[in-house]
Structure 1
Amino acid sequence: MSNREKELTENLAEIKEEVAEAASRAGRKPGEVEVLAVSKLHPASDIEILYNAGHRLFGESYVQEALNKMEELSGLDVDWHFIGGLQSKKAKYVAGKFSAVHSVDSSKLAGLINKKAAALDVVQNILIQVNTAGEEQKSGVSEEQLPALIEEITGFENLKVIGLMALPPFFGDPEGARPYFARLRMLSEGMEKLFGIKLPELSMGMTGDFKVAIEEGSTMVRVGTKIFGRRPGY
């Protein structure tokens, strides 16, 4: 086993143990929370190492980089998720390529993905990104506009909303993010009741605050640095 293989497999095992412990403390089953290994800006070889160690769930943030990795790893059954900001002109490239797109925040973007999904005759799973803190510099639909967006998207035959995603403000203390995670969970529960739908996924929590996110109901934590180390160039 190479040094890199040892590093990555040990890091992943440690994260999964921490996730299981956080879930247990919250009275949840470890299997209720998945680890989305955020592999953006890391080579396909790193993904292959973790794949060979049994991990399948990977998140990418840049369309072209993700497509290149998909081609390079085409022989592997990787469960790809798109988690980055998505420009309208790139929307057509994600439909049918990812198990889920986490960053849908407008009817225009949803419509473009739906159009491509229809042409491919597939149903694309999506999560709606909510800007729970109302930060101007961040993507995400506002809480006030969320119901209208869900109502519109439910009219798209080739999209399926499976949950909500959020990027709370950064805090040195992970407890600072707790109210935003709790708010996203409440919004999800409210939308389920309002529309009579199931939104099983809550994509929230990253390297610095995933334990708090799990305590507040996250079903998928997005962890990059603590698995892969610092991104090249950072």
Structure 2
Amino acid sequence: MSGIQERLQAVENAIVAACAEARRPAGGVKLLAVSKTFGPDAVLAAAEAGQRAFGENYVQEGVDKIAALKDRGPQFALEWHFIGPIQSNKTRPIAEHFDWVHTVEREKIAVRLSEQRPAALGPLNVCVQVNISGEASKSGAAPEEVEALAEAVARQPNLRLRGLMAIPEPADDFALQRAPFAAMRELFERLREKFGPGFDTLSMGMSADMRAAVLEGATIVRVGSAIFGARTYHK
């Protein structure tokens, strides 16, 4: 078993333990392996261990990786999530190659993604990004703007509104980690009453705060370094 496969198993075990602590079914939390800056071989090693969903932050790197791995056969049918900032001039390759987008923060981006989504691929799954900690340096809509943005996403014919995503301000204290995740859960539950059962995704929690996120209701956790190791290069 490779180092990636061993670390992947450890992360999966941690998710199961956190779900047990939260009295939630382990199958209710999906692991998104964040493969940014790692090549196709690293993704393939995780895929060989059963991982299917991968997150990319950089458009061209993600598109190249998708192309390199697309002909591996049905046993390696991978699901690709875009989780980085979205520039207006990069919406087309995202719409054409990815299955999910977690980082929609403006109506203009939602409109462009819908217009550029190939009909043959079906609707693009979308999460609205929330700046839950109010950090000036962070992307995402302010909590009071999220409902209107979610409505705009839901109106787009080639998008499927799935839920919310957040990257809270880092904190070492466990209680401080939980607080923004609890606020996200409350916002998510309120909007789910409006948008219905298809609004089913709360994407939050990374390597350092995954347990806190699961305890507060995360349905997708985005984990990179705990699976792939330290980043080997930066863009």
Using the size of structure 2 for normalisation, the TM-score is 0.93
* Aligned-pair identity (%): 38
Contact 1:40 1:59 in 2 (8 A): yes
Partner of 2:57: 61
CA deviations on 1:100-135 (whole Å, 9 max, x unpaired) are 100001100000001001665631110010011111
1:16 corresponds to: 12
* Matching residue of 2:183: 183
Which 5+ residue runs of structure 2 have no aligned equivalent?
Answer: none
* Cα root mean square deviation, aligned: 1.5
Is the contact made by 1:91 and 1:109 (CA closer than 8 Å) also made in structure 2? yes
1:76-225 mapped onto 2 (5 Å cutoff): 76=72, 77-117=77-117, 122-196=122-196, 198-225=198-225
Which of these residues, 74, 77, 80, is aligned with residue 70 of structure 2?
74
Number of positions where the alignment pairs a residue of Structure 1 with one of Structure 2: 230
Tell whether the 8 Å contact from 2:166 to 2:204 is kept in structure 1 after alignment: yes
Distance, in Å, in 2 between the alignment partners of 1:67 and 1:130 is 25
What amino acid maps onto 1:155 in structure 2?
A: R
Asked whether the equivalents of residues 110 and 152 of structure 2 are also in contact (C-alpha less than 8 Å), the reply is: no
Letter in 1 for 2:18: A
Question: What TM-score, normalized by structure 1, do the two folds share?
Answer: 0.94
- 1:118–1:45: structure 2 CA closer, same or farther, 3 Å change rule? closer
Q: Helix, strand or coil: the match of 2:2?
A: helix
Structure 1: gaps of 5 or more residues: none
Shift of 1:96: 3.9
CA distance in 1, matches of 2:175, 2:60: 35
SS of the residue 1:66 aligns to:
helix
2:12 aligned counterpart, secondary structure: helix
- Of residues 42, 45, 54 in structure 2, which corresponds to 1:49? 45
Residue 233 (str. 1) matches residue 233 (str. 2):
yes
CA contact (8 A) 1:168 1:180 kept: yes
Cα distance, 1:159 vs. partner?
A: 0.8
Q: Which among 35, 38, 42 is matched to residue 39 of structure 1?
A: 35
Distance 2:80 2:227 in 1: 17
Moved over 2 A (4+): 118-122, 172-175, 194-198
User: What SS does structure 2 have at the residue aligned with 1:95?
Assistant: helix
Deviations 1:132-177 (A, max 9, x none): 1111111101111111111222211111111100000011234322
Give, in whole Å, the separation in 2 of the partners of 1:128 and 1:185: 14
C-alpha deviations, 1:44-90, integer Å up to 9, x for none? 10001111121111110000000111111121311111111111110
Q: Determine the C-alpha separation between the residues in 1 that align with 2:50 and 2:79.
A: 12
Alpha carbons 1:81, 1:100 under 8 Å: kept: yes
Q: Is the 8 A contact 2:95 2:118 kept in 1?
A: no
